[in-house]
Amino acid sequence: MTTHQVRDGAKGQATGESEAGRPAKPPGTRAQTPDRPAVVPLRRNWRYQAMWSGAAASMLGTMVTDTAYPLLLLVMTGSPLLAGAFGAVQFTASLLFGLHGGALADRRDRRRILIVADAVRVLATLSVPAALWLDRFTVPHALLVAAVIGATIAYAGPVRTLAVRSLVPPAQLRQALTQDEVRVNGAALLGPPLAGLLLGLGRAVPFLATALASLYSLATACLVRFDGRPPTDGHPAPAAHPAGAEDGAGESARQESGGALAGLRRLWSDPVMRAVVGVVGVINLTGAATLLPLMVLLRDGGTSTTGTGLVLAGEAVGGLLGALLVRPLHRYLRPGRLLLVVAWVVVPLLSAPVLVSGPVALFLMLLVVSLGVPALRVMVDLLIFQQVPDALRGRVIAATMTLFMLGVPLGSFASGLLLDHLRPVAVLQLMAVLLTVALVAATLSRPLRQALWPAEAEVAAAVEATTP
User: 373-383 and 359-371 are packed helices; what angle lies between their axes, rounded to 10 degrees?
Assistant: 20
Q: Which CATH class is domain 239-468?
A: mainly alpha
The ranges of the chain with pLDDT < 50 are 2-37, 233-255, 459, 462-463
Q: What is the pLDDT of residue 223?
A: 92
Residue 401 vs residues 6, 74, 280, 396: alpha-carbon distances, Å: 6, 30, 11, 9
For helices 46-77 and 205-223, the axis angle rounded to 10 degrees is 160
Query: 318-334 pLDDT, tens per residue?
Result: 999 999 999 999 999 99
Q: Residue 36's beta-bridge partner residues?
A: 33
- Which positions ≥6 away from 80 have C-beta within 8 Å? 74
Nearest 5°: phi and psi at 245? -85, 155
Give residue 398's identity as a one-letter amino acid code. Answer: A
Q: How far apart are CA 382 and CA 446, in angstroms?
A: 19
Assess contact for 120 and 218: CB atoms under 8 A. no
Cβ neighbours around 169 below 10 Å, total: 21
CA atoms of 78 and 453, how far apart (whole Å): 52
pLDDT value of position 9: 35
Task: List the one residue out of 209, 212, 205 whose CA is nearest residue 132.
Answer: 205
pLDDT of residue 458: 59
Domain 17-21+44-231 annotated CATH 1.20.1250.20: yes
- In this prediction, residue 385 carries a pLDDT of 87
Torsion of CA 59, 287, 317, 351, to 10 degrees: 170
pTM for this one? 0.76
Topology match between the domains 17-21+44-231 and 239-468:
yes
3 state SS of 265:
helix
β-pair partners for 33 = 36
What does the domain layout of the chain look like in residue ranges? 17-21+44-231, 239-468
Pick from 12, 98, 167: nearest CA to 402: 98
Output DSSP code: residue 388: S
